[in-house]
Amino acid sequence: MSNKTIFGLIIALILVVVGWNSFFVVSQIERGIVLQFGKVVKDDVQPGLHFKLPFIQEHRLFDGRLLTLDSATQRYLTLEKKALMVDSYAKWRIANVERFYTATSGMRSIAEERLSRQLESGLRNEVARRTLNEVVSGERDQLMADITSTLDTSARRELGIEVLDVRVKAIDLPSEVNRSVFERMSSEREREAREHRAKGRELAEGIRADADRQQRVILAEAFREAEQIRGDGDAQAAAIYSEAYNKDPEFYSFYRSLQAYRESFSSKSDILVLDPESEFFRYLQGNGVR
């Protein structure tokens, strides 16, 4: 192989190396910067193919997606000095690439370690301003909104990081106080149950007494109405009997006698001892009907 060929190959290799070090690609999920002798000369490089000075400039790429910081469970004190174990996480992403690189040297572990300390400090302050009930249920959403706003402000200023959300996954009591708290809650629930049962019995007695009173009233009114209807019926019957009797007294007397005979001799074993000349047999005699 001639010297000219070797020299040509060396030149080609140098050109390939120079070309390789002159271009870089930023993907859609990355954020990039260009450094020259360690100093940032171009920040927030957009996705695509870019040129840099070979051997003089270098590029650094960082994850531009939404990332999750899962904080370890920490112990915090409420306004009443009651201990709580709080498990939380934060959603964050790079907002200012240059500031992020300057503050963390572009290392995610350093960024998350510093962000974790800020999250812990912010949660401690927010929990300390609230009571146990407010932290657990009353103002839990407001607590998360406040810590998100506070953490986002400090993280943007110090780390170039945007904090989009902070969430409290779980709030528990320390293991050493779980038993005493459970017993206190159990006794409180039992007391409330007794109160509810007493109120229920009192209400039931009232309902039962009212039902008995209504029953007596209804029965009395029904009896009064029945007696009134019975009296009206008897009066109407007496009026009808009287009217019929006045129309033909003799026939009415005869009809009543027949009814008396029928009822008196309804059975063969009936015995009636009377004087044959008795008024009872007036219509059985030949001259009974006049």
Please spell the DSSP secondary structure of 239-275, one letter per residue: HHHHHHHHH-HHHHHHHHHHHHHHHHTSSTT------
The pLDDT-based confidence of 18 (bands split at 50, 70, 90) is: low
Tally of CB atoms within 10 A around 101: 20
Question: How many angstroms from the chain centroid is the CA of residue 77?
Answer: 28
pLDDT at 165 (0 to 100):
93
Specify whether the CB–CB gap between 124 and 146 falls below 8 A: no
CATH 3.40.190.10 for the 67-172 domain, yes or no: no
pLDDT at 27 (0 to 100):
87
Model-level pTM greater than 0.75?
Answer: no
Residue ranges of the chain assigned to CATH 3.30.479.30: 67-172
Indicate the angle between helix axes 140-159 and 108-128, nearest 10 degrees: 140
Residues 6 or more apart whose Cβ sits within 8 Å of residue 31: 44, 45, 61, 62, 63, 64, 94, 97
Q: For 96-105, 124-133, 258-267, which range has the lowest pLDDT when averaged over its residues?
A: 258-267
The better pLDDT of the pair 36, 110 is held by 110
pLDDT > 70 fraction of the chain, expressed in percent and rounded: 81
Exposure of 185 by Cβ count < 10 A (0-12 exposed, 13-18 middle, 19+ buried)?
exposed
Tally of CB atoms within 10 A around 77: 12
Exposure of 26 by Cβ count < 10 A (0-12 exposed, 13-18 middle, 19+ buried)?
buried
Mean pLDDT of the chain: 82
pLDDT at 8 (0 to 100):
63
What is the rounded average pLDDT of the residues 12-40? 76
